[in-house]
Structure 1
Amino acid sequence: MGRSIQINTTSLDSFEGLHQAIRGSHVEVTQLGRGKFRGSLSHVGIGDFSLSIGSFSVGVRTQRIATDDRLVIGMLLSASERVTHWSFDMLPGDVLIMPPSTEHDGSFHGAAAYAAIRLDLAEVTSLFAGEPRLSDPATWCQKNRYRADSLTGLIATQRIRQIVPCLARQQASISDELADFWKRSIIDATAATIIDALPAENRGPVPQAMQLVRNVEHYLDTAGSRPVHISEICAQFNVSRRSLHRAFYDMLGLGPVTFLRRKRLCAIHSALRQNTPATATIGEIAMQHGFIELGRFSHYYRSLFGEYPSETLHASKRMSRGIDRRRALATG
């Protein structure tokens, strides 16, 4: 059964528009900075799961009341001046944990942008299976701030900004599997910062690395053409990202994220050779396989296959026309 993605973006001309700064939560907002308020607010809803992205031009204070029973994972995307949440100073890329039924207050001393994910606490067990600390709901019941590594934070903030315009291009009903992939992709933008900030695991060598890699390959083959997120792999085999990464590097010389990407690129390559774009564009096929930014997809594709997607498609069409002509001559 398909599931719809609900997306809306609104331009704001006053601080009152931020009262639903996090979809499903009521937030009290007070303008602190002088000047005309300008901003925007975008919401993505996939079932009860939501992503909110907001920006504003002047300083504000925000307060969330304690009656909200959902977990909120926030990320500061940009800030012109100091930002604090509770007693935590925030820098762009930092991740904030707002537990369920907890009052929250934040102070933005100037223009800023943020992202906030709102989900049921019970979902963390499946979303982070294989990560002992993150799959434990108790981990998310304490206020916390995770400091972002500069590179990780930059990548995460860029990626999460790309998700809204990407999903806006396919607002029609999508499969439950693809909806789950996009949920995991949204979560992953914040999870990378959290995992980097946690102490390294001390588990010794990865046992049976070859078997683990083979099991992952079999799972991907069984999944068919649908995109599979790295967190789904970790959940399926109850293994942490660090352990999975070590196993893939030991066996293949590349990480599991790169491996999954190349598997998806191969699936697209096969689709283009089969002339699938007769009913769908190259962009639509790339989106169906989990690629957010089409320019980056094209770069990955050319790096792997030595040609652009359009070249694969055109070569396939020429080959099909040649086969058709030969068949016509043989039967003529």
Structure 2
Amino acid sequence: MVDTVRERPRSSQAVRFEFSGNQPEDAVRDLSGVYSGDAWVARPTDGPFEYRYTALGDTDVTVRRAQLHGSLHGVVPAGGEYVVVWVGAGSGEVERHGGRCPLPIGRPVLLPPDDEYAFWSADHDHRIVHLDREFVQRIAASRTGDVGPLRFDDRREVDQETARRWEGVLVALARSLRVGGPESSAWHTAKELAVEVFLEAFPPRPGDLPAVLGQPRNARLRAAVQYIHDHAAEPVTVTELSAVSGLSVRSVQESFRRVFDVSPLTYLRHVRLDRVRAELLELDPQVGAVGDVAKRWGFAHLGRFSASYAERFGEYPKQTLRR
């Protein structure tokens, strides 16, 4: 194993490390350590167990390769860097909102950036790019002028053209490291390109909080609203909103009434309906299922969901799906 970090100008540091071995327990120790993972399990499949994991770049962007002859399962905590995986071979699945989703071969996939997730993988060869959140924020702000928090939809499926662009990013990153290393101008250009294509592949949803929350008097309410937006697919209670905002339960309810003229849970329902609509507009009507989308966003009773949807948008969800 090699693990070195060298000083770089402008607060970036070079990153280079490598793990390899042939024992499942060593793989769990090394690989779960990289991701601060929990309950990881590695096992042989058909033949000798082997693993190799390499990383090269800097603290803004690292290019990684994960190779495994065997199976691996574990849980990764929320937060950390943005991680984009390109599956070259083998199988992989990620659990999102209670459902296991296969990782497609030859297309970039954003791993859940803001939620804990479980994964399953076997006999894989993955190209992985880690993007520092502050670096992504800085590049995004320089392009759009928006300095607000960025939120990404990790369920977005990347089209073929964008997938080709991301494959080009992988080539450019590897070439710049091979030729000049992480101190070179070529690397600086390549990693900025990586962020630009990342933002195209997974467009952020900046500014989806109402502008009225920018007023100083609504600072605590903003924390509650932000929590709703970040956890819309999960059960959310007024008690939780009280805890994250520092307001009493009664004050939370009064603040939502004062600013939005609805209760906190009605506001949550509206956010969920908006998320359902956005997803339905992107789905292929031949393969999309309204019920699956609705359940993913917390609607257990499909009849009541359909009525609420029609009241909010003036059409039924199946009509949206057929657009």
Which TM-score tier does this pair reach, normalised by the shorter chain? 0.3 to 0.5
Structure 1 length-normalised TM:
0.45
> Larger relative CO (CA 8 A, sep 6+): 1 or 2?
1
Structure 2 length-normalised TM:
0.46
